[in-house]
Structure 1
Amino acid sequence: MATHWSVSGDADGTMSKPWGLFLFPTITAGLLVLFIAIPQIDPLRENILSFRE
């Protein structure tokens, strides 16, 4: 499974399929949890709320 591409578009980084099927969804779910948690733990929560509009 290709995981990295060079500037010319050639795949120059690979990983096995089981790792790819596990790693990419795990990273995506982790980022989702992080983006949900950031407003809850931010000490300047009011600033985030003003930008949501």
Structure 2
Amino acid sequence: MIRVAAVGDIHLGPGSEGRLRPAFATLGECADLLLLAGDLTRHGTAQEARVV
């Protein structure tokens, strides 16, 4: 069995660095695969992508 964690529309950008780090730090305990779907950034800029 493969355990999948899914999250969508996280809208990361400047000022949200590290916001999801606590959740990702423990992800391996409950999921084998992470699916990031939807809007990962607010506007799709390179600066926002670096945060992701």
- Tell me the TM-score normalized by structure 1: 0.25
Could you say which structure has the larger radius of gyration?
A: 1
Q: Which has the higher strand share?
A: 2
